[in-house]
A and B are shown apart, each in its own frame.
Chain A
Amino acid sequence: QSVLTQPPSASGTPGLRVTISCSGSTANIGSKYVYWYQQLPGAAPQLLIYRDSLRPPGVPDRFSGSKSGPSASLAISGLRSEDEADYYCSTWDDSVSGPVFGGGTKLTVL
């Protein structure tokens, strides 16, 4: 059972916008940066968003991250079929000096 809670599934129609939530606490999300990872089917995770809202080079600006208090969100606009993947939120756990991950959200593009 992760300390970060994500909905197990989400879905959206091509071209529209979908949001994935990540709920934590003031001890994790509320005081640490949030990272998002995208895992395409059969592939390794890849960094999608870092420091709450920044995109690594090559990540389209259709992907955006935000945070408010103990919760964070990943928004995907202009949804495309290739966005169908599992999405994981993550923060840093100082007690072990390592990341904690949410349970993951499986995004289906209808």
Chain B
Amino acid sequence: QVSLRESGPAVVKPRQTLTLTCTFSGFSLTARGMCVSWIRQPPGKALEWLARIDWDDNKFYNTSLKTRLAISRDTSRNQVVLTMTDMDPVDTATYFCARTLMVATSKMLDSWGQGARVTVFS
């Protein structure tokens, strides 16, 4: 059974760096086609994809946020870490991690974590 869980600070101050950890189980991030994405959702707003790390350690980022994001993995601990620098109140959102399956021409986020609510507040 696939499971993902986000963890990190609930509150960060402006200009600080946010570090979120996604701990997962039920799949191997080194298996071909397996990836983990981060997605965020500001209160009352739509989903926004942030970043993805693949089975081969390739990394991809939202173009508009690329300079502020870094994604990495620890396969021995089944964890994916997202850092976002220079946090601003507009970054207040729920941050989700999701398993992303890249199988043939299918590219889907098929299992999601419960989300981590992050408020940027001084």
Contact = CB atoms under 8 A, between A and B. Distances in A.
Interface stretch (B59-67, B73-81, B83-91): B59-67
Interface string B77-111: 00000000000000000001010000001111111
Nearest to A50: B108
B108 A35 contact: yes
Interface of B is mostly: strand
A78 interface: no
Interface residues of A, number: 25
Contacts, number: 61
A2 B45 CA distance: 12
Contacts of A12: none
Given A44-B112, A44-B115, A98 B37 contact: yes
A100 B62 CA distance: 10
Contacts of A102: 46
Contacts of A95: 63
Interface string A34-69: 010100000111110011000010000000000000
Contacts of B47: 37, 45, 88, 90, 101, 104
A98 B110 contact: no
Given A44-B114, A46-B112, A99 B106 contact: no
Given A45-B39, A98-B37, A101-B48, 18 more contacts: A35-B108, A35-B109, A47-B108, A47-B110, A50-B106, A51-B106, A88-B47, A95-B63, A96-B60, A96-B61, A96-B62, A98-B52, A99-B49, A100-B49, A101-B47, A103-B46, A104-B46, A104-B47
